[in-house]
């Protein structure tokens, strides 16, 4: 694909990129241009590291200093109310987890438990249900 400098994110504007976005990552401009032109590996942005980190873009495996936006995350598909204990959901990094708890009393924030942690509704929006 053709390289568009307007789609490049750095440590300075990292907070403008949405978690869940599809991106190509690299640590220098030459490598990033090469990956984009070669239709390189497309990752999902799992986290933006804090401002003390030079490499702010975390794809689930490593952190990188540059990200090239391929697409923003899709609108929320998965809702906690659509799930039940025993359902399997997939994280943005493609790891599958079984739902082990549901808190129906907390309708505003944290409702789903997987792998010993509670997911907030904001976090859940980047996951998908495995059929």
Q: Encode the chain (131 residues) as per-residue pLDDT tens digits.
A: 999 999 999 999 999 999 999 999 999 999 999 999 999 999 999 999 999 999 999 999 999 999 999 999 876 567 888 899 999 999 888 899 999 999 888 766 778 999 889 998 888 888 888 88
Which residues are bridge partners to 120 per DSSP? 110
CA torsion 73-76-82-87 (nearest 10°) is 10
Global pTM reads 0.60
Q: How far apart are CA 26 and CA 55, in angstroms?
A: 10
Q: How far apart are CA 63 and CA 86, in angstroms?
A: 32
Q: How far apart are CA 90 and CA 100, in angstroms?
A: 14
DSSP class of 39: T
């Amino acid at each position: 694909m053709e390289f568009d400098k307007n789609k490049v994110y750095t440590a300075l504007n990292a907070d403008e990129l949405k978690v869940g976005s599809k991106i190509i990552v690299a640590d220098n401009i030459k490598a990033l241009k090469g990956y984009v032109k070669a239709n390189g590996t497309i990752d999902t942005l799992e986290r933006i590291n804090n401002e003390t980190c030079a490499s702010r873009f975390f794809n689930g495996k490593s952190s990188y200093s540059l990200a090239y936006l391929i697409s923003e995350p899709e609108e929320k598909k998965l809702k906690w109310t659509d799930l039940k204990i025993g359902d399997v959901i997939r994280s943005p990094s493609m790891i599958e987890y079984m739902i082990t708890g549901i808190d129906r009393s907390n309708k505003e924030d944290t409702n789903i438990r997987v792998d010993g942690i509670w997911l907030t509704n904001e976090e859940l929006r980047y996951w998908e249900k495995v059929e």
